[in-house]
Amino acid sequence: MAVSEASVTRKSPPSGGPPVSPLAVPPAWLPLAWLACAVVGLIGFGTTLAITANTIVHAPGAPTAVATVHIAMLAFLSTAVLGASHQFGPVVAGRRLRSVTAGLITLALWVPASWLLPFAFATHRPVLLEIAGVLAFSAVCLAAWNLSGPLLRRGRGTPVLGLRMAIVFLVLTAAFGATYAFDLHHGFFLLLPRRVLAHAHLGLIGWIGLAYVAVAEKLWPMFLLAHRPSTAAGDWAVRLVAGGVPVVAIGLLIPSVPLTSIGAGIVVAGLTAHLVSLAGVIRHRRRRMELLHAYVLTSAVMLIVAVWAAAIAGMFETSTAVRTRAVQTEIFALTMWLALAIVGHLHKIVPFISWSRMRKAGHTKAPNGRPLLFAHLVNAPAARTAYITGVIAAVSGTAGLAGSHVFLVEICGVALAITGLVVLVNLTSGPLRIIAIDKRAATESESESDSDATTETPTPVAVS
């Protein structure tokens, strides 16, 4: 039945959030395809981390280490955030993507690029690097154009504003990468550590981090059922992170220690506001603590670890070895801040998207005959297992990099790969199980009707 806008009237919510238009929601297969590729990226990241642990600990600038980091950033984190943006942007802004087909083409360009680029790094193949760079940059430009449709809509609050800024940082990060690729032939932009750090912070905090900080302002109150008296902390978080990251990047590029410090201070203030916002949501939540809280809180702990590691690297007079370990720990902790948050929210977002799609396809009942709920699409023990392996990865990886213990980094890699595998199987098997049960029921019902029809058929009378 078509939606009758005339008979369902929507008033704007009191907090200024937009009423959601069903027409803005992209087809379920688009975000689900992105998110499935992201989880495969997590498995790939864990596997390569386990394999390259020794190099990562002892020679973080070596090609295989750089390749592993790029699998984490591109094939896992960026793919997840791009996928979520293709769902979240249109839904929250109340305006559809410019083109669903462009969303699919972006995915088709991005996923091969996100694997080819690390492969090219690891195998020293400049031609492949250039091909992957062109694919990735094209995907980023296409995504920015497509998402600008919903994200340029005015008056849609902090989450949309933050996501809009995050996309700008994505383009800048990609431009940085493109400059490196161009430099392979011209040698005007050497890979100095401070440039690498500028690139890393633009991507990790400006793009992926800011996207999460912004989107959390919508997701947390929704999933934790919190009615907060004020959203000021979240508003500040988005504005300070968005304002501080370019200052840090410019400070590192010039280079200027005072500018970098000022930028870092602004970013830390923003991230602190983000944590204050989380505390507010938890304080005003109306639901008992559940698995998502555990994911989000552990993720927040990793953010605090990252800030401390960055402070050690930037503020204290230490040896180069200690500074290198501190920077490695910071980057890893930031990665786990986002990884745990993403994996936790996937257990909420994917069942919701799958649920809507399944209802449209006529799968409205759970195996017990009750109405289909989100909970029927996720296996709770498996979700808890993914959390435990995720925490093992976070703790062992942090300790391994901070203390230069290769075996701990190997454990981290294995734990991450297991986490990805469990999430992939859990979130795909739930809906498939319901579909299989419905198909079996339909087949049985059909054969019963056939057998009834056969029984009712009059016995032919032989005519002699």
Partner 1 sequence: MGASITEADMERVDAALHEVYDPEVGLDIVTMGLIYRVEAGMEKVIIDMTLTTPGCPVSDSLPEEARQAAARALDPGGDERVNLEIVWDPPWNPEMIDDDALADLGYRRVTD
Q: Which of 18, 60, 90, 280 binds partner 1 (CB under 8 A)?
A: 18
How far apart are CB 20 and partner 1 at their closest, in Å? 5
Secondary structure (DSSP) of 148-177: HHHHT-TT-HHHHHHHHHHHHHHHHHHHHH
| Bridge partners, 285 (sequence order) | 226
310-333 burial by CB neighbour count: b if 16+ within 10 A, else e?
bebbbeeeeeeeebbbbbbbbbbb
Span of 121-129, 351-359, 435-443, 451-459 interacting with partner 1 by CB under 8 A: 351-359
| Bridge partners, 267 (sequence order) | none
215-234 residues in contact with partner 1 (CB under 8 A) are 218, 221-222, 225-227
Q: Which of 124, 185, 186, 286 binds partner 1 (CB under 8 A)?
A: 286
Q: Is residue 9 involved in binding partner 1 (CB under 8 A)?
A: yes
Q: Which of 374, 388, 405, 425 binds partner 1 (CB under 8 A)?
A: 374
Q: How many Cβ atoms are within 10 Å of 3's Cβ, its own excluded?
A: 10
CB of 192 or CB of 375, closer to partner 1: 375
119-134 burial by CB neighbour count: b if 16+ within 10 A, else e?
ebbbeeeeeebbbbbe
Q: How many Cβ atoms are within 10 Å of 256's Cβ, its own excluded?
A: 14
CB of 227 or CB of 439, closer to partner 1: 227
Beta-carbon contacts of residue 28 (< 8 Å; ≥ 6 apart): 353, 354, 356, 357
Whole-angstrom Cα distance, residue 335 to residue 324?
16
CB of 4 or CB of 455, closer to partner 1: 4
Cis peptide leading into residue 371 (ω within 30°): no
Span of 5-13, 187-195, 429-437, 445-453 interacting with partner 1 by CB under 8 A: 5-13
Q: Is residue 25 involved in binding partner 1 (CB under 8 A)?
A: yes
CB of 178 or CB of 226, closer to partner 1: 226
Whole-angstrom Cα distance, residue 134 to residue 148?
21
Whole-angstrom Cα distance, residue 81 to residue 218?
15
Phi-psi region of 319 (alpha: psi -120 to 50; beta: other; left: phi over 0): beta
Each residue 90-109 as x (binds partner 1 by CB under 8 A) or -, in order, gives -xx-----------------
How far apart are CB 251 and partner 1 at their closest, in Å? 36
Span of 14-22, 187-195, 309-317, 434-442 interacting with partner 1 by CB under 8 A: 14-22
Q: Is residue 363 involved in binding partner 1 (CB under 8 A)?
A: no
Whole-angstrom Cα distance, residue 206 to residue 209?
6
Q: Is residue 352 involved in binding partner 1 (CB under 8 A)?
A: yes
Q: Which of 59, 152, 315, 373 binds partner 1 (CB under 8 A)?
A: 373
CB of 17 or CB of 112, closer to partner 1: 17
How far apart are CB 277 and partner 1 at their closest, in Å? 15
In 3D, which of 313, 340, 96 has the Cα closest to residue 212?
Answer: 340
Q: Which of 318, 356, 443, 451 binds partner 1 (CB under 8 A)?
A: 356
Whole-angstrom Cα distance, residue 324 to residue 401?
10
How far apart are CB 235 and partner 1 at their closest, in Å? 16
Q: Is residue 155 involved in binding partner 1 (CB under 8 A)?
A: no
How far apart are CB 350 and partner 1 at their closest, in Å? 11
Backbone angles phi, psi at 183, to 5 degrees: -70, -20
H/E segment holding residue 282 = helix 257-283
Residue the block writes with tokens 């204290």: 316
Beta-carbon contacts of residue 355 (< 8 Å; ≥ 6 apart): 372, 373, 374, 377
CB of 191 or CB of 222, closer to partner 1: 222
Q: Which of 124, 185, 186, 288 binds partner 1 (CB under 8 A)?
A: 288
How far apart are CB 66 and partner 1 at their closest, in Å? 38
Q: Is residue 58 involved in binding partner 1 (CB under 8 A)?
A: no
Residues in contact with partner 1 by CB under 8 A are 1, 3-4, 7-15, 17-22, 25, 91-92, 218, 221-222, 225-227, 284-288, 348, 352, 355-356, 359, 371-375
